[in-house]
Structure 1
Amino acid sequence: MRFLCDVHISYKLTKFLISKGFESLHVNEILGKSETKDSELCNFANQNNYVIISKDSDFRDSYFVNQTPKKLIKINLGNISNQALIKIFNDHIETIQKLDSKSNFLLEIDKDEINLIEL
């Protein structure tokens, strides 16, 4: 499974995912780095089978309106510590990993639950 962390996601999550055996990149490592347009990030993720991890609601909107990105984990937790975010991912890693076989999905992570939406 391959992950691509958006600009407002800490490198610490990228490193955590790598430590769990996943391939993970941060937007600051590719394309135009922090200046990369959302559409460019979606195209890169779709073409290379990455799951975008983002706090940006624009990606959620694009998922519903344009069906891109094909695979998205949307963080709906506001200002959360890196440790708390990593703990949430660690607690739900098996659920997240099961999504790898899906061709498209939106996984929303809220304070008390995670919700899977498939088009």
Structure 2
Amino acid sequence: MKLLLDENLSDRIIPRIIDLYPSSKHVKTLKLTNTDDVIIWQYAKANGFVIVSKDSDFHQRSLLYGHPPKFIYLQVGNCPTSKIVQVLRDNFDTIIQFENRKSESILVFWTVRSFSLSRIFSGIGKAIA
């Protein structure tokens, strides 16, 4: 599984998750920072990435177009990089299951009162080409 981390997430996350998510990249290393979300979406789709972001624009795009690419939506507020790393590491099995499910486009992780982490699958249906 390859994750593509959006620019609203630190590029320092990649070295801390690469053992679980080989070939994952940050948009910064691909020179896609300050790039339109459509370009990032197309890149992820063409190269087999799952997009990870806090950006609601990707959420809207996933609702509209389905997958590929799949999208992991982090609704975790303003939190330290270590918290994002923890979410991605602690939920590895859930993320792998999400990738393997054909009918689901979006996986949402959120915090409740900044203390507890919850998760939900959201099935979207077939992708629109």
Structure 2 residue aligned with 1:71: 70
Q: Kindly indicate whether the alpha-carbon contact (under 8 Å) linking 1:42 and 1:68 is maintained by their aligned counterparts in 2.
A: no
1: CA distance between counterparts of 2:94 and 2:108?
A: 12
Task: State TM-score, norm by structure 1.
Answer: 0.88
**In the alignment, structure 1 residue 83 sits paired with structure 2 residue 88:** no
Give the fraction of aligned pairs with identical amino acids, expressed as a percent: 25
Deviation (angstroms), 1:84: 1.4
Structure 2 residue aligned with 1:114: 119
Bigger mean CA offset, 33-42 vs 68-77: 68-77
- What is the number of residues matched between the two proteins? 118
By percentage of residues, which structure has more helix?
Answer: 1
* Residue deviations 1:47-93 (CA, integer Å, cap 9, x gap): 11100000000000111123355300011011011111211222111
Task: State TM-score, norm by structure 2.
Answer: 0.82
2: CA distance between counterparts of 1:10 and 1:27?
A: 10
- The gaps in structure 2 that reach 5 residues or longer are 112-116, 125-129
* Residue deviations 1:32-52 (CA, integer Å, cap 9, x gap): 521211001001111111000
Cα RMSD over matched residues? 1.7
Structure having the higher Rg: 2
- The gaps in structure 1 that reach 5 residues or longer are none
